[in-house]
A and B are shown apart, each in its own frame.
Chain A
């Protein structure tokens, strides 16, 4: 029994570490190699705090280094969590500059390997390679959780189970909340979130910190259960094992991680039992081969992300019908994009662009373009490939800086602002590719765009869980309404990957609508869409106009532009060549030649 309880403790510790890492790795798509050393920082901090004081006579003091502050385990655990959280924030400092995922791997790897070495050199803290011993067992009331005895080990396994359940609940709660939805949106789409008016850095840093803090807390409980440990316990191998559990189980879903931890944590003891003493090297061979085989058989993990979505009941089922034919207006309620009032609120020219320029390494992409967008109208940017249309979108939304010129939204200068702030002033854009998270439902993909969700702040999730839940209902309703406007509400609970490309385009436009911005920039809304669905897109975009939105679109299809646009602007080599109604431009022989070639 004692042994099985110990195995259970080991598996539960691995499970907790992996479940929390899944938030970062699975949801946000960020690989951290530093999980082991963060776990170690928590473990040694807790150990130092709970170890008896040096003057406490006898053997403990005599053996030299195994003394500490003699704290109770509870405050020690809290401090361990805090210290690890701070350590994680220090690591993530450079990450503010480095948005690229690959470098985060390196950064955390550097921290892990450097940290390992510091742990083993810093004898005053970790005891050096011999580590610390004599960490007093955990006590609650008069009950000792000493793992030296069988009864204590079983009790500890029970305690660890409770802790693991708490970790799972925290991770699941965060992962399935609007906050988790933000994280999933970051994954693979680093530029998307700012264009939806949300700063991706905060949730990322926070997730990194939370994951680390959980690792630190688990580290403390590892220390109490072990009684002795050495810096070598917190090597890169452990980081890799934790990552393996997440990947094996299936990233981005907690149930998979639980299964993964049971398999990877249980495989070795089982192999040992089956193979006996003779087969010790064989155990590792089979272990490795099993890992390879499992990934070949189930490359997306044992329980792939989204596999369980269908089992869960749709949250908002009823309101389908009444909205199917398109809402007259979407009631954002508390979730409006609360823009600070601008100096010239009622101007007919909402967005005024004056002489903006951008060149890349001496190559001029936009050479002084000036035009404006009129309120409630659809303006089309047309022109040959390389005319600078998408570049202008990037400049308006702040993903590219202007070399010179000015962009004014209702009189307010936008140049120099970060993307997410520009969005908050009311400009949202779509991309040529849909940039949807394929493993999320359609509804979630749209809901993420709804502004000012209380559930996106961890603070609210913890302190106002009911308010967050209530808000989530309204957010889902808004998202559903937006889908209804585009006529795709019936797909709300499908996974995006099961939708046709045309439908995906419509979902992406619905997401744009959900931002509550009034200036919408659409980048080639029909590219890649099958001819049958083009009409649906045209219908959808004209509904945006019906809702009073100011729309600007880049489009190659003249047919499309003719049917939709109130106004067209012809660009060539980043300069406005002509402006007028579509009919006027199309009738100009000169432009037709430029556009279509000879």
Chain B
């Protein structure tokens, strides 16, 4: 057993898993409440990244304001999808699959719109410095201790992801608006009967979910670049994390994401890395056999 490698892969797994957890909770908030297979969660993700890059370069916003602008764009685009895409179909009693198709249509169109507007290039996050020059906004420092290394962004990914996840969980459990989310999820008929406004709750979960997706988009942009297809590979990850951990609970989803990340990273301890998706999906398959309700889900009656 190579303990150094094990430790380094564990670190990588925690970083990846925290990111998966963030995406999972982002997707889970929307999915658990609305049951919409919200592929278009890729749009707030990309909107966050492009919002930050664009506002920093064109509006000359300083780094943190640009990041906030990116998050604002993420929420705006998330809600636009809800209002222009999902609500009209819901009003006409469209089935969940119809909503999925709306989601798919948006997901197909949006990256190409980005390509038309911003070009095919990868755009790094750059801000204007005090001398009025564009320069890389983020210096990704590396911390190392012996064999082990971790970068600043990775540390931030872990901290920010879990802080936000905990904040969301507390919000859902402790506040009045938050509890309305749970109520609508567990018993929609009862919830509407006691006067919970379905539409309001949807707006709330889409805003929250899009915010978290936007944060994920900012991480990718700050670490690497914004590009038209930046979000596509990540959307499905969120979905898997939700099921991996169990549909019912956000905490389960978050831990599901973490396990997913660890599994995918640690599988390369003994296997070539391109086998890690196979390991992940095979274990998913087996988990479903043993625990159909998901890893951390409660058995349904």
Contacts and interface: CB of A to CB of B under 8 A. Distances in A.
Interface in B82-107: 85, 88-89, 92-95, 97-102, 104-107
A244 B104 contact: yes
B289 A295 contact: no
Contacts of B171: none
B112 interface: yes
Contacts of A240: 104
B288 A291 contact: no
B100 A247 contact: yes
A360 B105 contact: no
Contact of A291 (B104, B110, B116): B104
Given A107-B288, A281-B115, A290-B105, A118 B278 contact: yes
Contact of A106 (B99, B110, B240, B278): B240
Contact of B281 (A93, A114, A244, A247): A114
A100 B246 CA distance: 13
Given A244-B104, A281-B112, A292-B106, A301 B98 contact: yes
- Kindly name the residue among A100, A113, A295 whose own CB sees the greatest number of chain B CB atoms within 10 A: A295
Interface in A245-282: 247-248, 251, 281-282
B102 A296 contact: yes
B203 interface: no
A248 B274 CA distance: 36
A287 interface: yes
Assign chain B's interface to a size class.
35 or more
Contacts of B144: none
A286 B105 CA distance: 9
B97 A292 contact: no
Interface in B275-295: 275, 277-278, 280-282, 284-285, 288-289, 292
B113 A285 contact: yes
A299 B89 contact: yes
Nearest to A279: B116
Interface in B232-289: 236, 239-240, 243, 247, 274-275, 277-278, 280-282, 284-285, 288-289
Interface residues of A, number: 44
Contacts, number: 132
Contacts of B37: 105
Given A94-B292, A107-B288, A288-B106, A117 B281 contact: yes
Interface string B107-119: 1111111011000
Contacts of A121: 274-275, 278
A594 B210 CA distance: 52
A130 interface: no
B285 A114 contact: yes
A289 B281 CA distance: 32
A433 to B, nearest CB: 11
A251 B101 CA distance: 12
B2 interface: no
B301 interface: yes
B97 A243 contact: yes
B95 A110 contact: no
Interface in A268-326: 281-282, 284-292, 295-296, 299-301
Given A117-B281, A299-B93, A282 B98 contact: no
Nearest to B272: A121
A1 B202 CA distance: 50
B277 A288 contact: no
A295 B105 contact: yes
B300 interface: yes
A121 B116 CA distance: 35
B285 A285 contact: no
A275 to B, nearest CB: 12
A284 B109 contact: yes
Given A282-B116, A296-B102, A111 B281 contact: yes
B277 A113 contact: yes
Contacts of B277: 113-114, 117
A109 interface: yes
Contacts of A113: 236, 277, 281
A105 B288 CA distance: 12
Given A118-B278, A285-B113, A295 B89 contact: yes
Given A94-B292, A284-B112, A117 B285 contact: no
A94 B115 contact: no
Given A117-B274, A117-B278, A295 B285 contact: no
A94 B247 CA distance: 18
Contacts of B100: 243, 247
A300 B98 contact: yes
A236 interface: yes
Interface in B103-137: 104-113, 115-116
A244 B101 CA distance: 6
B193 to A, nearest CB: 14
Contacts of A284: 108-109, 111-112
A109 B209 CA distance: 22
Contact of A114 (B107, B111, B278): B278
A300 B90 CA distance: 11
A296 B288 contact: no
A243 B236 CA distance: 16
Contacts of B110: 288
B264 to A, nearest CB: 12
Nearest to B276: A117
Nearest to A245: B101
A282 B115 CA distance: 10
Contact of B94 (A93, A236, A300): A300
A296 B102 CA distance: 8
Given A94-B292, A114-B277, A117-B277, A288 B109 contact: yes
Q: Which 3 A-B pairs have the closest CB atoms?
A: A288-B109, A299-B94, A114-B281
11 contacts: A94-B285, A100-B292, A110-B281, A117-B275, A243-B100, A251-B95, A284-B108, A286-B109, A288-B105, A288-B106, A296-B102
